[in-house]
Amino acid sequence: MSDPLVEARSLSISVGERKLLDDLSFSVEDGSSLAVLGPNGAGKTTLLRCLLRIHTRWTGQINILGRELRGLRQRQLARRMAYVPQLEGRHFPFSVREFVAMSRYPHRDAFGGSTAGDKKAVDRALALADVERLADSPMEILSGGERQEVLIAAALAQEARILLLDEPTAFLDYRHSVRIHDILATIRAETGTTTILVTHDLNEALAVATVALALRDGRRVFHGPVSGLLDPAVPAEIFGVDFEVIHRGDNAPPLLVPGRPS
Amino acid sequence: MGLSKHPVKVLLGLSLLAVAAVMTAPFFGGFALPFSVIWGDATRMESLVFWQMRVPQVMVAFLAGAGLSVSGMAFQAMFRNPLATPFTLGVASGASLGAALYLRAGLHLNLPGIPGVSVAAFLGAFAAIVLVYSLTTGRRKLSGASILLAGVAVSFCCSSLLLFVQYISRVGHSIRIMHWLMGGMQVFGYADVFNVLPFVLSGAAVLLYYRHELNLLVVGDDIAASRGVAVGRVKLILFLATSFTVAGVVAVCGPIGFVGMMMPHIARLIIGSDHRVLTPASLLSGGIFLVLCDRLARTVVPPSDIPVGVVTALLGGPFFLWLLIRRGAGGEA
């Protein structure tokens, strides 16, 4: 087996007295899809922010593609890892194509214009996220679901091997959520991109991930194949709520339905 | 939105307008001058007024307008707030206080090529922006409206201190401070042109260099960081450059309000938000606007010159309100 793409060892970060992440270790293998699960305030977003170097005051070690995170320049990091942020509270005064093209930043120097390679990467990203029809629309007129798809396209234009997503379906209806899941499946199938997806939805993890990492109060409570979540004791420990497993047909993953607080 | 389909044409149009404004403006003022001034077919007095007073006045007005406008543009991008300007962030007041302290002390220390008052203004401006920015990034970080409130608070503190400095100054110093505070551009020679020029040129160069970074900062620090922008370092450089520009302008012209808020918005309305074209458009439109305001200020009640700040504020105040109402009504500015 090759080296893991992302590896964290004894990662800790605290603000004041509060430990946001506490001695967290995990690894992400090439081509896998990791779901980072946990209740609100478990440290999921903090973990993403450490990986993106928005938070820098952590202790421990993080390796990205075999290089220590602290030793990477921001552009080098951006060529290895792309990011799909949460939508709310943002203002995008650009057209879809302009915004997606802005993701080519880590591949160009200050004085270079956009190259044929840049254009190709943008076109491919628009196609993969299935938003070519929106290319010339202003971002401001898109619906929430469409904007989320464009954010994914923008991250793809970075042509990084790792894709981070921060609750990409949190504010979307069922139809758009399913679309996002389909897009993620296409991306993995066609580009082999490794995805790290933050979510609090167990069924989303079952639908799109191969591996799950569950946090509670900044600590790791589960790390393994998503099938491990089907032991009702595991989700109960993560969320503090009892779950029932509903088995469906052969082609659909089982569903986890919450019950009473345990 | 104002996404222009032909940004290059718009820029070309703005450039032509700027050239036209700068070339025709010196003929107007307290009294109009004949065009024959150019080929020397005029009285010695007319020629003197034209070349030694009006031409440098217009040049300083253009540079000051361009510098304030592009600074406002950068602040609006970095704070992602349409009301962020050199004034609402306390930068202009910081610069004023720095300059006033310098004038109060009666100092005349000039670095080679840079007047001491500009250095003092820069120190004041930079202290103000660092104070406001540290409030936005510290442990208990402020955001959105709180940043502006912090900026306005800093601005008021600086203004009060400035009044205090003026109050305890001797009459000579006090008049010097007062005169300069009016935001007027009374007597400008070529020396003043060269005092402002390096500040505006270097600030504009830095902002043009960081055009891609500005675009990414507009959509969020996290997105910018994930795309490879070293956000902390880039923001620091941008703050330095914009404070430098504001200070250079304020040190020579006094605090001139509203240009830094209005003109970037107008530039956005006509050319869109892409900083590759918005930066030159903000420079040009700010320059044109202040040249016009300056001429207006000198023409309305001759022979006295109204401080140009009065004209920009009279135009800018209603614009500011319009912007607030538009935002309040749910529209994004």
ipTM rounded to 2 decimals: 0.91
Choose the closest CB to B228 out of A15, A91, A106: A106
Candidates A17, A87, A102, partner chain B, best to mutate (most B CBs within 10 A): A102
- d(CA B135, CA B266) in angstroms, rounded, equals 29
Q: Which residue of B has its CA nearest to A51?
A: B226
CATH top-level class of B7-28+42-326: mainly alpha
Residues 6+ apart with CB under 8 A from B290: B61, B62, B64, B65, B66, B68, B256, B259, B308, B312
* pLDDT mean over B197-213: 95
pLDDT at residue B142 in the model: 59
Chain A environment of B229 (Cβ under 8 Å): 74, 105
User: In total, how many domains does chain A have?
Assistant: 1
* pLDDT mean over B289-318: 82
* pLDDT mean over A15-42: 91
- CA angle at residue A78 from A163 to B273, to 5 degrees? 100
Q: Flag whether A1 is in a domain.
A: no
Task: Find the CATH number of the domain harbouring A225.
Answer: 3.40.50.300
- d(CA B99, CA B118) in angstroms, rounded, equals 7
Residue B102 identity (one-letter amino acid): Y
CA distance B95 to chain A (A): 31
With cut-offs at 50, 70 and 90, classify the pLDDT of residue B333.
Answer: very low
User: Of all residues in chain B, what percent carry a pLDDT higher than 90?
Assistant: 29
Q: Enter the tokens of residue B65.
A: 């307008």
Mean pLDDT estimate for chain B: 83
Q: Which helix (H) or strand (E) holds A19?
A: strand A18-28
Chain B environment of A85 (Cβ under 8 Å): 220, 222-223, 226
Choose the closest CB to A74 out of B218, B229, B332: B229
Q: Tokens 């409030």 — which residue?
A: B135
Q: Are A149 and A187 in contact (CB under 8 A)?
A: no
- d(CA B305, CA B188) in angstroms, rounded, equals 13
The model's pTM is: 0.88
Asked whether the predicted pLDDT for residue B206 surpasses 80, the reply is: yes
Strand partners, A61: A9
Asked whether the predicted pLDDT for residue B136 surpasses 50, the reply is: yes
pLDDT at residue A210 in the model: 94
Q: What is the DSSP letter of A36?
A: E
Q: Enter the tokens of residue B4.
A: 């222009």
State the number of CA atoms in the 13 A half-sphere of A50 facing the CB.
28
From chain B residues 148-187, the ones with a CB under 8 A of any chain A CB are: none
- d(CA A35, CA A165) in angstroms, rounded, equals 10
Q: Flag whether A254 is in a domain.
A: yes
- d(CA B104, CA B115) in angstroms, rounded, equals 15
Q: Do B223 and A95 touch (CB under 8 A)?
A: no
Q: A111 lies in which domain range?
A: 6-261
User: Of all residues in chain A, what percent carry a pLDDT higher than 70?
Assistant: 97
User: Of all residues in chain A, what percent carry a pLDDT higher than 90?
Assistant: 73
- d(CA B193, CA B64) in angstroms, rounded, equals 10
Which range among A12-26, A191-205, B243-257 shows the weakest confidence by mean pLDDT?
A: B243-257
* pLDDT mean over A26-44: 92
* pLDDT mean over A159-164: 95
Asked whether the predicted pLDDT for residue A179 surpasses 90, the reply is: yes
Asked whether the predicted pLDDT for residue B148 surpasses 90, the reply is: no
From chain B residues 194-233, the ones with a CB under 8 A of any chain A CB are: 209, 212-213, 215-216, 218-223, 225-231
Asked whether the predicted pLDDT for residue B330 surpasses 60, the reply is: no
CA distance A44 to chain B (A): 15
